[in-house]
Amino acid sequence: AQSVTQPDIHITVSEGASLELRCNYSYGATPYLFWYVQSPGQGLQLLLKYFSGDTLVQGIKGFEAEFKRSQSSFNLRKPSVHWSDAAEYFCAVATSNDYKLSFGAGTTVTVRA
């Protein structure tokens, strides 16, 4: 079965600084990879997804992620964070067999002024 690890439980970043969130997955074949964001008290919103093709994926809100098969990673980046980026971020993986999502435990991002 597939699994996802997000090594960082909590990250604090200054407004305007860059942000990188780590995600490692375990799955034998090529996975479908997703990043979701959850603002406090809200549901989850898709930031970006990777199915195939170009390994650098652009998403909404200025986020991007890079799929690295050799490292089993799908790290999320943003060059300059805004206070509104404070939220919890979830990496998820699905298989081509049944498309069920397995989520990481999440990374909480705090943005300081």
Partner 1 sequence: NAGVTQTPKFQVLKTGQSMTLQCAQDMNHNSMYWYRQDPGMGLRLIYYSASEGTTDKGEVPNGYNVSRLNKREFSLRLESAAPSQTSVYFCASSEVSDEQFFGPGTRLTVL
Select from 14, 18, 30, 42 the one that contacts partner 1 (CB under 8 A). Answer: 42
Question: Residue 105, interface with partner 1 (CB under 8 A)?
Answer: yes
Select from 25, 27, 34, 63 the one that contacts partner 1 (CB under 8 A). Answer: 34
SS3 of the chain: the string is CCEEECCCCEEEEECCCCEEECCEEECCCCCEEEEEEECCCCCEEEEEEECCCCCEEECHHHCEEEEEHHHCEEEEEECCCCHHHCEEEEEEEECCCCCCEEECCCEEEEEEC
Q: Which residues bind partner 1 (CB under 8 A)?
A: 4, 9, 32, 34, 36, 42-46, 49, 51, 90, 96, 98-106
